[in-house]
Chain A
């Protein structure tokens, strides 16, 4: 029983980060129809920016996290402006290739600036909490709680504010939104800002527990893609549930059966869901 609870907690912790990273990705994919393969690498860059503020400038953890959010948000805006916007109206393959280019650029950039050596952000909350017979690191609890707060805030923003609803409007009908006077370009920039900022939060939450390296974004980026497809392209609840779902599958499957099959479970679930419901769990039929 204790082992099960421990694995459950591990799964939820991982699911939380998957959920926020996938959330950022699904916004960009669903609204702008840009397959941003570089999303995982933005996440990596977010971790390094937080590292820079904490280690090189000596800022506090939360202050660095906020700065990292804002800075990475603007990196996202710049990326949208110079990489993806010029390709509007071009065949989708162009955006594909541009995204891969951006990915390689970001990884090489991190390699040049910070080098291949792993780096560590000092853990701001190293306390250990024991509850119900399971052991939790305070920072991991923070990840779970922080992710939940972020998801609620984002939901409120998208549903309850005028600015937020413009994002949904563009997602539903680009031309229609333009006709009602919504500045589509501004919405694009804003979406990229939010998407990158959430990636920065996820990276800042996780990097004190783990190690920063230029290659860390690749795996997470790929998993975020699985989740987005699993949950349904562009679906916010799909990304959240898909994230927790994948986290739990990995923890329980990996812990009980064998870690060697961890990816088998994750991709197996993807294939299974897609063969039953090709649009993903929460995907809407196109057209």
Chain B
């Protein structure tokens, strides 16, 4: 017993020492601490990394430009990251730690399952933080949390675009093999109701765990037995690639729609060694190259390749843009602490110069950035011209105005007003 007491004393002393000497916390000068909690190990580690990489690049550029000046003081940005393995409890603990110990008032997280519980604690008096939610789940908007900013467009945008496209093709039967979890369930439900409302039919719904499984032949065989015209698939990119390959090998000839988590260029690279003929008939969110003007995007793509040894993903781009907008809003609001004032200043700094934040972030809608959603199809072994969807514009005049406000990069622009979102 005595020995045990002794041991625990040493342990506690050790932990205290660790806490005192840990770097970052006592950085010199004035610092704006940015927090991140997300999957940095386990099956979704790459996804978490991609988010962090975007933040890192944004922070590098903010600091290289001399940081920001607020109230006559110069501030540099710093990033602190914690791993939460997509565990809600760990995410909440990390958020508390980031807020109280590291002093981070801006916390990024890339998974809806962990964002939702974090949104329960971000309004507590004295420890408020701005939840920077990298999720397309529309539920975030319904929660009306004032201390939240959702970064990518809501996935309802893609649901609308896919339904429109499928109707034009005259398709009827859809089979769904989508990832399990809150995000995938949301996608399935929303697509199902939209497709049935449009007169279509869901002939098979075979969700699968894209995080733990690699063989989908059981689900695919069952789905394909119903002879669908097209399939809705997707989850993490690499496994989505496997689903495409396995479905093709089982003889599926129809087209695929991918949920927005899966990335065309990532799959092409990792799964098919950039042989795009293996991805004919796959539609998903557009590759980064087609999201902005060439002279803006090319240097960024090259930088991702050089610094991280891999092609850019939209996680890189969107997080990069978000952190640059935050920095600009802090300067505008004249504070680095008052998150309400900073959030309120965001519409004033938007839209920004494309050279600074790459993508056409146009405005803030409630707690979500307004940014068009772009889809793209691979056909005859090539990326086709993407379709950019404007989802917040109600009238034709609004739509035309919005189109003219962003750089023309040759994409097809369409107006698909989203119920509950259009202004």
Q: List chain A positions with a Cβ less than 8 A from chain B.
A: 2-3, 6-7, 10-11, 13-14, 107-108, 111, 115-120, 122, 128, 135, 137, 206, 209-211, 213-216, 218-219, 250-252, 254-256, 258-260, 262
Q: Which 3 A-B pairs have the closest CB atoms?
A: A118-B238, A116-B45, A210-B214
Asked if residues B239 and A6 are in contact (CB atoms below 8 Å), the reply is no
Distance in angstroms from B186 CB to nearest chain A CB is 15
**Across the two chains, which residue of chain B brings its CB closest to A116?**
B45
Does chain A have a CB within 8 A of B215? yes
Contact flags (1/0) for B93-136 with A, using CB distance below 8 Å?
00000000000000000000000000000000000000000000
Asked if residues B249 and A251 are in contact (CB atoms below 8 Å), the reply is no
Distance in angstroms from A23 CB to nearest chain B CB is 20
Does chain A have a CB within 8 A of B341? no
- Other-chain residue from B42, B217, B242, B251 in contact with A10 (beta carbon distance below 8 A): B217
Chain B residues, CB < 8 A from A6: 217, 221, 250
Asked if residues B218 and A111 are in contact (CB atoms below 8 Å), the reply is no
Distance in angstroms from B291 CB to nearest chain A CB is 21
Secondary structure class of chain A's binding surface, majority of residues: helix
Contact flags (1/0) for B203-225 with A, using CB distance below 8 Å?
00011110011110111011001
Asked if residues A10 and B218 are in contact (CB atoms below 8 Å), the reply is yes
Distance in angstroms from A28 CB to nearest chain B CB is 24
Chain B residues, CB < 8 A from A250: 218
Does chain A have a CB within 8 A of B46? yes
CA distance A214 to B44 in the complex (A): 10
CA distance A3 to B204 in the complex (A): 14
- Other-chain residue from A11, A14, A137, A254 in contact with B249 (beta carbon distance below 8 A): A137
Distance in angstroms from B207 CB to nearest chain A CB is 6
Does chain A have a CB within 8 A of B289? no
- Other-chain residue from B46, B212, B219, B238 in contact with A219 (beta carbon distance below 8 A): B212
Chain A residues, CB < 8 A from B270: 117-120, 211
With contacts A213-B238, A260-B180 taken as known, whether A120 is within 8 angstroms of B273 at the C-beta atoms is yes
Does chain A have a CB within 8 A of B43? yes
Distance in angstroms from B299 CB to nearest chain A CB is 23
Chain B residues, CB < 8 A from A2: 225
Q: List 15 A-B contacts (CB under 8 A).
A: A2-B225, A6-B217, A10-B217, A108-B41, A115-B309, A116-B45, A116-B49, A117-B46, A206-B214, A211-B242, A219-B213, A254-B218, A255-B219, A258-B206, A259-B219
Distance in angstroms from A147 CB to nearest chain B CB is 15
Asked if residues B207 and A10 are in contact (CB atoms below 8 Å), the reply is no
Interface size in chain B (residues, C-beta < 8 A): 35
With contacts A211-B214, A255-B219, A259-B206 taken as known, whether A122 is within 8 angstroms of B273 at the C-beta atoms is yes
CA distance A85 to B214 in the complex (A): 35
Chain A residues, CB < 8 A from B219: 254-255, 259
Distance in angstroms from B390 CB to nearest chain A CB is 33
Asked if residues B218 and A3 are in contact (CB atoms below 8 Å), the reply is no
**Across the two chains, which residue of chain B brings its CB closest to A255?**
B218
Does chain A have a CB within 8 A of B310? yes
Chain B residues, CB < 8 A from A117: 46, 238, 270, 310
Distance in angstroms from A85 CB to nearest chain B CB is 26
Q: List chain B positions with a Cβ less than 8 A from chain A.
A: 41-43, 45-46, 48-49, 180, 206-209, 212-215, 217-219, 221-222, 225, 237-239, 241-242, 249-251, 270-271, 273, 309-310
CA distance A119 to B309 in the complex (A): 14
CA distance A11 to B217 in the complex (A): 9
Asked if residues B217 and A211 are in contact (CB atoms below 8 Å), the reply is no
Asked if residues B207 and A211 are in contact (CB atoms below 8 Å), the reply is no
CA distance A193 to B208 in the complex (A): 35
Asked if residues B49 and A251 are in contact (CB atoms below 8 Å), the reply is no
Chain A residues, CB < 8 A from B225: 2-3
Distance in angstroms from B342 CB to nearest chain A CB is 32
CA distance A211 to B211 in the complex (A): 12
Chain B residues, CB < 8 A from A215: 41-43, 45
Distance in angstroms from A150 CB to nearest chain B CB is 20
CA distance A256 to B204 in the complex (A): 11
- Other-chain residue from A211, A254, A259 in contact with B271 (beta carbon distance below 8 A): A211
Chain A residues, CB < 8 A from B41: 107-108, 111, 116, 214-215
CA distance A20 to B221 in the complex (A): 25
Chain A residues, CB < 8 A from B46: 115-118
CA distance A117 to B43 in the complex (A): 9
Chain B residues, CB < 8 A from A251: 217-218
- Other-chain residue from A10, A115, A122, A216 in contact with B221 (beta carbon distance below 8 A): A10
**Across the two chains, which residue of chain A brings its CB closest to B267?**
A118
Q: A128-B249, A206-B214 are in contact. List 19 more A-B contacts (CB 8 A).
A: A6-B221, A7-B222, A116-B46, A116-B48, A117-B270, A118-B271, A137-B249, A210-B214, A213-B238, A219-B212, A219-B213, A251-B217, A251-B218, A254-B219, A255-B218, A255-B222, A256-B222, A258-B206, A262-B209
